[in-house]
Structure 1
């Protein structure tokens, strides 16, 4: 049975109703940092358990936020970080730094991205918070089963 994981990042204290709708039915939510405030995590937890990391604008002393998260689901080794620890994160840089991961989830750039390198997957769900730059807000749904990882970027308004 596949597991569906919601991916969200860069909420910066704003959680849109459309983001909540896009994440309905997921079994777990991974927040890749720049949460903004705890209210965002409380609202997300109404949908599913949440694992979150801190970004460059978060208070690193917030107990719910860690610098990195490692987890294993359906045989996939997943690493979550904001990406700012690399300066300007790129799929190649993340794959090099976290070589033990088969799926890497990050934020920081505010740009949605799906990059495959062999059996490895790098995903940035985009920025779900206030509209910045020329970016359309988005989240992602990651569907995992043994040997198969699919991801869908969902634009939100």
Structure 2
């Protein structure tokens, strides 16, 4: 199973909701899209749903329309693998640590998170931790990014995809 992973799109209704062509092309053919919060506009979900079913959670910048639809934390089952989904905002720890700790004692094989806009990939205690970065708001990163996860025979892997600009 091929899964597209996105976070921190930060696109508001004040302008046309348009996702980068590099992202749309890269998500072509995925069977599911996970969004780790800070959508800002629910119309982002509508655009992604044109490509594949979407699961997500709300981030610290999302309004109640997104919170009521997605919630703040969930476990998504895909091809027999349990994936924890959380934004990762908070205080007192790194974003990665907050995401990892949020699913302590729960049966997950991967945790997808966002918030920092920094692409991240690590296995910790047998759990894949994955932050796709941002496809639209790279902040201090050199490149925009999103991720692709693949599940084969119960094993989950992830890879980042990067691009320099979008219009």
User: Scaled by the length of structure 1, what TM-score is found?
Assistant: 0.89
Alpha-carbon separation, structure 2, partners of 1:130 and 1:91:
19
1:49 aligns with 2:53: yes
| 1:116 match | 123
The superposition leaves residues 50-104 of structure 1 with CA deviations (integer Å, 9 ceiling, x where unpaired) of 1121111110343433111212223321110111145654434433331222200
| 2:155 match | 148
Number of residue pairs aligned between Structure 1 and Structure 2: 155
User: Scaled by the length of structure 2, what TM-score is found?
Assistant: 0.84
Structure scoring higher RCO (CA < 8 A, sep ≥ 6) equals 1
SS of the residue corresponding to residue 80 of structure 1 reads: strand
Moved over 2 A (4+): 60-65, 85-97
Is the CA contact (8 Å cut-off) linking 1:89 and 1:109 kept in structure 2?
Answer: no
| 1:8 match | 6
Alpha-carbon separation, structure 2, partners of 1:71 and 1:55:
17
Alpha-carbon separation, structure 2, partners of 1:105 and 1:60:
21
Q: Which moved more, 1:131-140 or 1:88-97?
A: 88-97
Report matched runs for 1:1-157 at 5 Å: 3-13=1-11, 15-62=19-66, 63-85=68-90, 88-99=93-104, 100=106, 101-156=108-163, 157=165
In structure 2, list runs of 5 or more residues that go unmatched. 12-17
Is the CA contact (8 Å cut-off) linking 2:132 and 2:145 kept in structure 1?
Answer: yes
Query: How far apart are 1:38 and its partner, in Å?
Result: 1.7
SS of the residue corresponding to residue 64 of structure 2 reads: coil
